[in-house]
Structure 1
């Protein structure tokens, strides 16, 4: 019995080392399904990831979940040590921040719906900028006249803002307090439950000629 248990742990430890290697080598978060083929036959990738998460919980780097994917990230309490090494990025404009917030909370949403909430037109470059940053993606096309494109957030959005899932998004008052939403937005603005899963019944797949780098929304 002891020999059997020892053999089981040896296999488990090897699989844990494989997961570590894959996660450290990857520039992007990985899902359990992506890593499972590298493990031994019958290995439970989800259980192994949970064990690895516990092992790194008190270390300088933590294993964190971003949507259905996993990645190693600097422990939150040590983040200040690396800030001076970070490349200074151009801050997003107020319009881009508001657009990103509305997409995050109202997804799937169209450009016209974003403009209705903001009360002003959304420039063509704003959505392009957010898609180039990898935070926003085109989901599909709404089953309404004109078949406007619907937008949603990405796993990269969750990763950048340190969110495990959309349910971790802050409340409306926190959002306003952080400056992400301006006072120009309606005071009675309601935040629905965001949806980032498969296409809904009111969405069709994107057309073959749709591309991520173009504004293809047909709404007036």
Structure 2
């Protein structure tokens, strides 16, 4: 590594722990807390994905409660246009929903613009979310039309889908599963936060009626193909 190359990707050494004072034992308890709070917020602000409790614990004292720090930060941000939210097993800064129209009107580029999916891609993603792990062949049977490799690749490129365990069916194709980014993008902590599918259907939001049925031969050997 050259002298001018940043050390952000360098492997952490025991010396780093010595140089970084996590405990702040020279400060009174109240001041330690006030120093730990902005440390935690700075890490969350700098990261483009939800930050786990374990990660945040690296910048505060051993006996510091990360959860209580987060509670205090949430309270401090109560009157701000952004907040801390718990998603995908960690915490992330999010603009409050009521400012969404303002941001869109500004046409300003955002730090984490969500991928724009076609209606069919969104339907396939929804099916994967509810039925995972599921193969591309099984998705094609559900929709009555081929779910192409390109469709799965688009969802993978957007960070929503990854390869799951192989199916026990002939050819042992890889299944599709959702990712932590999927949870984060849709503001969910776990897959248990997915809306009840029956409630969606009753509200007319399942979108099944929008799927344009096209001839699909179930004999097509899709199950023998891994996710592209």
TM over 0.5: yes
> What per-residue deviation string (whole Å, max 9, x for no partner) do you get for residues 73-97 of structure 1?
1011122110132559884223211
> What secondary structure does 1:71 align onto?
strand
1:51-81 C-alpha deviation (Å, 9 max, x unpaired): 3233324421110111201110101112211
> Contact between 1:97 and 1:180, CA under 8 Å: does it hold in 2?
no
For residues 26-175 of structure 1, the aligned pairs below 5 Å read: 26-84=47-105, 85=107, 91-172=116-197, 173-174=199-200
**Alignment length, in residue pairs?**
184
Counterparts of 1:126 and 1:32 in 2: how far apart (Å)? 34
For 2:181 and 2:204, the matched residues in 1 are separated by 21
TM-score by length of 2: 0.69
Runs of 4+ displaced beyond 6 Å: none
Q: 1:177 to 1:86 in 2, by over 3 A?
A: farther
Deviation at 1:129, TM superposition (A): 0.2
Closer, same or farther in 2 for the Cα pair 1:28/1:91, shift >3 Å? closer
* Cα 1:47/1:147, change in 2 over 3 Å: farther
Kept after mapping to 1: 8 A contact 2:176/2:227: no
Q: Distance in 2 between matches of 1:178 and 1:20?
A: 40
Asked if residue 181 in structure 1 is aligned to residue 213 in structure 2, the reply is: no
1:166-189: CA deviations, max 9, x gaps? 23322334368575623167xxxx
1:49 and 1:114 map into 2 onto residues whose CA distance is 40
Distance apart, 1:103 and its partner CA: 0.6
- Unaligned regions of 5+ residues in structure 1, if any? 1-5, 186-214
Alpha carbons of structure 1 residues 171 and 25: separation in structure 2 relative to 1, 3 Å = same
